[in-house]
Each structure stands twice: as structure tokens, then as C-alpha cells.
Amino acid sequence: MTRRSSAGPLTPEDSNIPDGAFGPSPSQTVGPYFHQGLVHGFQGYERTAGTVLVDPFSVEAQGVPGERIRLTGHVLDADGEVIPDALIEVWQADASGRYPTDPDAAFSGFARTHTLTADARYEVHTIKPGAAGPDAAPRLLLWVGLRGLLTHLYTVVYFSDEDNSRDAVLRDVPEARRPTLIAQRLDAPGGVTYTFDLRLQGEGETVFFTP
């Protein structure tokens, strides 16, 4: 008796399963294996990435140029209900429009936040980024993951007090949809805050992009 090697992939010739049964696995709702958004504490990731890109109280951050800002908001479903367990990652350029190639304790250009808070609101403390090119406006890049999503979502956040008309990405978005990508500035005694809600579906749905 000769045993067929099991090193290669299973094919219809190696099986008594009818040919028509072979094909892509069926899509399924994301399960417990997608632990980033389902386990409190995100499997210890808070030790390597937190909600603070630039700590306004740290000694290292004193030498980082740029306006200190806070970005905050909710993640909303199609009915306008808040989603309490979303995971959000933020990438950004520094105040000069350069993306860090050698991140340090003062400014990494990356943060991870979530909506596991009392009011289901995410929050990031950082500096306002500069424009990364002549055809770009200052912006933040956001990645969103949560239970039930088969694919992560990507979007871009612009600022209400900037001239966004030159941005090549925003110009490709239908004019009526552009407000869904604009964070609104609020000047308060505690500092500058930008509010930005992520609407996954329904009226005012946020524009999402293919990476």
C-alpha cells in the first residue's frame, strides 16, 4: 500500500468529496479569534501603544513641536446607537508633515484607542499634523475594527479649521459626503478638542476607503 503525501493541499483528486464541493470557505461573522476588539485590555497591547501620541505632561514631549490637540468621538451603528467595544488605530505625520521613521518616546506617530469607556467615547491626545505634501491637507489616518465586521475599515480625518480644498483624496469624495470626514474644532479652557463621530451605516455614514 502506497501512502499519498499529505504535504500538499487537498484537491478533488485526493478526496471522495464531489468536485462541486470545493471552493472558497463561506464567509462568517468574525468570531472570538478576532481578539483585538473582543477582549478587555486588547491582549496587553496597551503596553506598546496607548491613546497618547504626545504626552503633554512628559519631559520628552516638551521638545516636540506642534499644537497639542485631543481627538474624541463615538462609533455609531446604523441606528445611531453607540458601539461600546470598537478598536481604533491612528497614524499621522508630525507637525512638519513627515511620518516618523524612527519613533521614540516623544512622538511615535501611532496610537491605539477604544470605546470601552463609561460613555463609549474614544480619545486620543496628540499634536496637529502638518500637510504631508503640496496636494494634501493635514489629516489623520484611522483604522477601525469591531465585532461583526468581516473587514476592517479605513478612513481619513481632516480638520474644520484647515484649508482642505487642495487635498487630492478629499477632492475625489463627492462634495455632499465630505463633511463626514471633517473633525470639528472646539476651543476650551482645557485645550483644543476635535470631535469626530464614526458612523458605520445610515444617514451621514462616514466615507471609508480601500487601503
Domain harbouring 93, CATH code:
2.60.130.10
Cell numbers for 103, please give them.
Answer: 519613533
- Residue 4 belongs to some domain of the structure: no
How many structural domains compose the chain?
1
In a domain, 99, yes or no: yes
**Domain contains 18:** no
Range of the domain at 36: 30-199
* pLDDT (0 to 100) of residue 8: 47
Question: Do the beta carbons of residue 150 and residue 92 sit within 8 Å?
Answer: no
Query: What amino acid occupies position 76?
Result: L
Q: Is residue 17 situated within a structural domain? A: no
Residue 3 pLDDT grade (very low, low, confident, very high; cuts 50, 70, 90): very low
Neighbours of 63 (CB within 10 A): 8
Q: Where are the beta strands (DSSP E) in the chain?
A: 68-76, 87-92, 110-114, 121-127, 140-145, 153-159, 182-188, 191-195, 198-199
Q: Which residue has cell 497591547?
A: 45
| 205 part of a folded domain | no
Q: Is residue 132 part of a domain?
A: yes
Q: Identify each DSSP E strand in 22-109 by its residue range.
A: 68-76, 87-92
pLDDT at 177 exceeding the cut of 60: yes
Q: What is the pLDDT of residues 66-87, one digit of tens each?
A: 899 999 999 999 999 999 989 8
The bridge status of strand 191-195 relative to strand 68-76 is: parallel
Question: 26-51: b or e for each residue (b if 16 or more CB lie within 10 Å)?
Answer: eeeebeeebeebbeeebeebeeebeb
Residue 6 forms part of a structural domain? no
The confidence band for 13, taking pLDDT boundaries of 50, 70 and 90, is: low
Residue 25 maps to a domain: no
C-alpha to C-alpha distance for 139 and 157, rounded to whole angstroms: 5
